[in-house]
């Protein structure tokens, strides 16, 4: 038997633990070396002003970044520390869920499978709301498994607490509550929980944990909910997006794991008694609402690769169950390849993201979004000084995040001039800046409304964001002698 096929004894579990720690070390190294993306630097700017929620998402990612930077400083590793480290408790939750519902062998294999997904192998180094969302969902599923196996209703309180923390990470975790209710309604032996006070006490616990986010939004025009629930307003019918959705999830899950998940869906629908359906039922039902919503939504909008991230630990466990229960002569080879293939593809992805020495040709560099921002910040600061500007404004949150990150130590004010609701977490800008010259760095030509916000607004040049000697994009630089109050409230795009 290969090392990738744990039998559940102590030796195999030890090997799985060692493999996980090695992967964590590699991810920490990658996290330290790969530049921060504009989204990550934007979340870093959140962390400087801890709040109960933000325009784009609930607050957990900002709190994690705050913890990491307090420990290691405002650098890529500090920003990403908790995100990378979270794969350890996530793996622990997956292992014990497998052990509770099936056996130790299934739990150990599921740990290998979840760490063989590209979303975890590559995506886990990015400080985004997905990491805490994934971790808390995994622990909520563990709590649900304990309810199902022990019939101890007190576990519902634990489920409620971690589910509430999950929703405080990303609103996508609201689908977990629907999934649990669906699993209870579908499970003959679980339906009694629907009338149990323990279940509803768990719901109250989740609501209490999430209540600070709710109350913050109540005082800020419900901006987080308006932003996220606004996605429900679907666009035109685009059926070609659905196969794109399937292919993307097939890739980021790991093609081999995706095959085992497909096999699990097949045997589950056919109610093939050769497989442990009693354990599979609650796992599969809890994934159905999120998958169904994203599948339907994919006919109207492109579904981003990470939007299904919270259910990836559950999918890895489902795949592990079927991989072990399937006839060995048919599936042993594929089961043994899942982990090495996933690790290889993840390492390749990290190398491509780092692009050491600029070895990738420009047209193959998929990590262009993270390239060249340090030089952009240096050029912007030089242009600010040469033009006599006191502060910098921008029309895009990604530019703001990157300039904040690279120029924060210099104490240069960087202010977002569009979508001002994004910056409700921060104190209002100093009104004295309105009477001082400003350098504006924009993604393109500024709309006419900016001319009404600023005096003597004029384009003074461009700043090239470059990688490997090639220009990725040209940012346009403007100078103005001063600004009206509308530049800060409500913002130049809202006049």
Burial class (CB in 10 A: 0-12, 13-18, 19+), 385: exposed
pLDDT digits (tens, 9 = 90+) for 282-326: 999 999 999 999 999 889 888 888 999 999 999 999 999 999 987
| Cross-strand partners of 415 | 393
Neighbours of 472 (CB within 10 A): 16
Does pLDDT of 99 surpass 90?
yes
- Mean pLDDT over 63-68 rounds to 97
Residues 6 or more apart whose Cβ sits within 8 Å of residue 408: 74
Dihedral sign for Cα atoms in the order 16, 96, 162, 138:
positive
Q: How far apart are CA 102 and CA 106, in angstroms?
A: 6
pLDDT tens digits along 442-473: 998 998 888 889 999 999 999 999 987 889 99
3-state secondary structure at position 385: helix
| Percentage above 90 pLDDT, the chain | 77
Q: Where are the alpha helices (DSSP H) in 191-276?
A: 197-218, 223-229, 241-253, 255-269
List, for residues 241-254, the tens digit of each pLDDT value: 899 999 999 999 99
Cα of 447 vs its chain's centroid, Å? 32
> Which pLDDT belongs to residue 325?
86
pTM for the model stands at 0.93
- Helix ranges (H only) for 254-327 are 255-269, 277-297, 312-325
Q: Does the pLDDT of residue 41 top 60, yes or no?
A: yes
On whether the CB atoms of residues 368 and 34 are closer than 8 A, the answer is no
Position 8 pLDDT exceeds 60? no
Across residues 207-220, what is the average pLDDT? Answer: 96
How is residue 40 written in tokens? 């990550």
pLDDT in tens, 288-300: 999 999 999 889 8
What's the start-to-end Cα distance of the chain, in Å?
Answer: 68
Q: Is the pLDDT of residue 183 over 90?
A: yes
The reported pLDDT for the residue numbered 223 is 92
């Amino acid at each position: 038997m290969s090392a990738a096929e744990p039998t559940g004894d102590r030796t195999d579990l030890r090997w799985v633990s060692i493999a996980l720690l090695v992967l964590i070390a590699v991810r920490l190294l990658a996290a330290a070396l790969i530049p921060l993306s504009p989204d990550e630097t934007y979340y870093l700017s959140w962390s400087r002003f801890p709040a109960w929620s933000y325009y784009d998402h609930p607050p957990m990612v900002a709190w994690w970044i705050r913890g990491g930077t307090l420990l290691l400083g405002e650098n890529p590793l500090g920003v990403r520390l908790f995100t990378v480290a979270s794969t350890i408790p996530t793996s622990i939750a997956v292992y014990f869920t497998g052990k509770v519902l099936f056996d130790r062998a299934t739990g150990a294999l599921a740990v290998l499978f979840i760490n063989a997904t590209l979303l975890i192998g590559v995506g886990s180094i990015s400080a985004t709301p997905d990491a805490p969302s994934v971790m808390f969902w995994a622990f909520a599923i563990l709590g649900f498994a304990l309810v199902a196996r022990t019939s101890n209703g007190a576990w519902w309180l634990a489920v409620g607490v971690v589910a509430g923390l999950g929703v405080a990470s990303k609103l996508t975790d609201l689908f977990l509550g629907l999934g649990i209710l669906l699993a209870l309604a579908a499970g003959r032996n679980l339906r009694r929980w629907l009338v149990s006070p323990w279940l509803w006490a768990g719901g109250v616990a989740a609501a209490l944990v999430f209540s600070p986010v709710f109350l913050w939004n109540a005082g800020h025009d419900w901006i987080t909910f308006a932003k996220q629930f606004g996605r429900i307003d679907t666009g035109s019918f685009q059926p070609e997006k659905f196969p794109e959705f399937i292919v993307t999830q097939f890739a980021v899950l790991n093609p081999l794991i995706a095959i085992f998940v497909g096999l699990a869906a097949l045997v589950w629908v056919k109610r093939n008694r050769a497989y442990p359906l009693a354990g599979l039922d609650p796992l599969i039902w809890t994934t159905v609402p999120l998958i169904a919503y994203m599948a339907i939504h994919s006919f109207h909008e492109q579904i981003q690769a990470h939007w299904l991230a919270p259910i990836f630990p559950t999918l890895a466990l489902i795949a592990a169950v079927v991989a072990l229960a399937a006839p060995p002569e048919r599936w042993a080879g594929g089961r043994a390849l899942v982990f090495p293939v996933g690790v290889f593809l993840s390492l390749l992805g990290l190398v491509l993201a780092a692009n050491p020495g600029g070895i990738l040709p420009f047209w193959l560099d998929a990590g262009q979004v993270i390239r060249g921002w340090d030089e952009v910040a240096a050029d912007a600061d030089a242009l600010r000084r040469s033009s006599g500007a006191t502060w910098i404004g921008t029309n895009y949150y990604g530019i703001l995040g990157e300039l904040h990150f690279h120029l924060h130590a210099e104490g240069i004010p960087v202010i977002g001039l569009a979508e001002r609701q994004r910056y409700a977490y921060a104190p209002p800008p100093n009104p004295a800046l309105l009477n001082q010259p400003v350098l504006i760095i924009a993604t393109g030509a500024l709309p006419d409304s900016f001319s009404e916000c600023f005096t003597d607004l004029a384009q003074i040049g461009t700043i090239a964001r470059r990688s490997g000697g090639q220009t990725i994009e040209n940012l346009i630089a403007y100078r103005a002698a001063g600004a009206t109050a509308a530049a800060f409230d409500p913002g130049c795009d809202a006049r």
